[in-house]
Amino acid sequence: MNKKFNIIKINGVKGICLAVFCIGCLIAGFLLFPGWVCMHVWNYFAGFFVQAPLMTLVHGVLLWCIIALSLYALNKGDCVISFGSASAVSPGEERIREVFNKINEQNVRNLTLIKKQIEDAQKAENSDTEHEDKSLK
């Protein structure tokens, strides 16, 4: 189980306002601004053609979504953006290593226990043979 949880707690009206503000900033930063740029680039190049239609902000956002989703679909993993801690080992691999370490520790414990039992049995056998040898004499 992953023990690294991030909990976001929203209290009262201030918390709700802050959450709405953060969501609005994300929408503006990832949708509206790139859409506005696409709209202006399209309208600039449309000025060079006679019957090219002009775009509004809604069309610019749609064009940006088409571009972004196309790049995402065509991405073969060469250019990956990730947030968070970068580790060479994935969480699944870490869990597998933990399990193998526990198995190895258990095997070492079992081997030492078996060795101890063998030694105790040999000592008991040696003491029994000594008693038999003394009784035969």
Distance CA 52, CA 70 (A): 23
Tell me the per-residue pLDDT of 70-104, one tens digit each, with 9 for 90 and over: 988 887 766 666 666 555 556 677 888 888 889 99
pLDDT of 130 higher than 60:
yes
What per-residue confidence (pLDDT) applies to 98? 87
Write a three-state SS string for 43-100.
HHHHCCCCCCCCCCHHHHHHHHHHHHHHHHHHCCCCCCCCCCCCCCCCHHHHHHHHHH
Mean predicted confidence (pLDDT) in 105-125: 89
Predicted local distance difference test score (pLDDT) of residue 72: 84
Beta carbons of 32 and 62 less than 8 angstroms apart = no
Report residue 130 CA to chain centroid gap.
65
Query: Against a cut of 0.85, is the pTM above it?
Result: no
